[in-house]
Copies of this chain bind each other. A is one copy, B any other.
Amino acid sequence: MDSEKAIMKTLNVALVGAGTIGRMHARHLWRAIDGARLHGVADVFADGAKACAEQNGGVRWTTDYNELLADPAVDAVVVASATDTHPDIVEAAAKAGKAIFSEKPIAKSIADGERALGAVERAGVPFQIGFQRRFDPNFARIKQAIVSGEIGKPHIAHLISRDPGPPHVGPVGLGGGIWFDMAIHDLDMARWLMDDEAVEIYTQAGVMIAPGLEKFGEVDVAVMVLRFANGGVVTIDNHTDSAYGYDQRAEVIGSKGAISIDNTYPNNAVLSNAAGLHHSVPLPYFLDRYQAVYRDEIQVFVNCLLQNTPMQVGVKDARASLALAVAAKQSHEEKRPIKLG
């Protein structure tokens, strides 16, 4: 983005990856984002790319994302493809000089991550990583309580993230598993809330739900403990088969008080009968809970591009969260605390 583009009114955004999350981004870019428009869709599956393009304004589509990167009309790229393809696409988009919004994780290894993020740094292109929870009103309220001093210096935080279904054992090489798909969100949240960097991580994890997962080198339950530079301690609870649905809560205690957040629910009705008082389970999955937030993070990305202001969740966050996820996995495998950076 050169300065000329900064004054333009509407950004052209290309989408790479027309899966579940990519289609959601496409819908938002088509109808719900100010200052940007969907320009094209790329997906290795032609049918998916075509359908997504047609349903969102009839924009161009392709099975080769390089075509979109080569399109001078494209100002920015949203990378929502399979996890393993993130490093290559981000690297290519950086080399093409496009502003980049990438879904998390940036990669599943330090080497791949550095390849992509190094390219971004060398190209000097704006880059936002998709930690959407930072834009959620509930998590943001905790952050505000810490930044404003309402709870004083943060001492201990507890983060709970539980997925509603048994872990999906797909073809090897796809998906990030518990460390790179789930924990990485909480590891980023821990850094953001504590406003600090972790210096040590210890993991207790195992296969409790889906026997056989071990052979993929995966676990389905993990508990992590992080110590931060300033002494603060964070626990993370990742469970992949919550019977009551998608569960994401957080709590922080500091020197002056504590703050906690609950899930969000389809309704808040309480039904009372002889068997007890009954409340709905939480909104069932991340696309339900964070629907508006996914729109908002793209709007923030677009606003920063249009106003030429720094990205709010950038290269440093992509890099640090990856390092933590790698260390969490290592701690589990080596059964010892791992020191960081």
Contacts and interface: CB of A to CB of B under 8 A. Distances in A.
Contact of A244 (B140, B273, B337): B273
Contacts of A336: 336-337
A63 interface: no
Interface in A146-163: 150-153, 155-156, 158, 160, 162
B243 A256 contact: yes
A137 B267 contact: yes
A276 B273 contact: no
Contact of A272 (B152, B206, B258, B337): B258
Interface in A206-263: 206, 208-209, 221, 223, 225, 227, 231, 233, 235, 237, 239, 241-245, 247, 253, 255-262
Interface stretch (A37-45, A186-194, A277-285): A277-285
Contacts of A31: 31-32
Interface in A124-179: 137-138, 140-142, 145, 150-153, 155-156, 158, 160, 162
A281 B276 CA distance: 5
B223 A225 contact: yes
Interface centre among A32, A206, A244, A264 (most CB of B within 10 A): A244
Contact of A267 (B141, B242, B244): B141
B267 A261 contact: yes
Given A137-B267, A204-B227, A221 B279 contact: no
A316 interface: no
A208 B153 CA distance: 9
A89 to B, nearest CB: 30
Given A233-B223, A281-B274, A138 B202 contact: no
A234 B325 CA distance: 21
B202 A253 contact: no
B277 A244 contact: yes
30 contacts: A31-B31, A31-B32, A137-B266, A138-B267, A141-B267, A142-B269, A150-B271, A150-B273, A151-B273, A152-B243, A158-B235, A202-B202, A202-B337, A225-B225, A243-B274, A244-B274, A244-B277, A257-B274, A258-B271, A258-B272, A259-B270, A259-B271, A259-B272, A261-B267, A261-B269, A262-B268, A272-B281, A275-B281, A278-B279, A335-B337
Given A155-B221, A276-B278, 6 more contacts: A138-B268, A151-B271, A155-B239, A235-B235, A261-B268, A276-B279
Interface of A: 31-32, 137-138, 140-142, 145, 150-153, 155-156, 158, 160, 162, 200, 202, 204, 206, 208-209, 221, 223, 225, 227, 231, 233, 235, 237, 239, 241-245, 247, 253, 255-262, 264, 266-281, 335-337
Closest 5 CB pairs of A and B: A257-B273, A244-B272, A141-B269, A277-B279, A141-B267
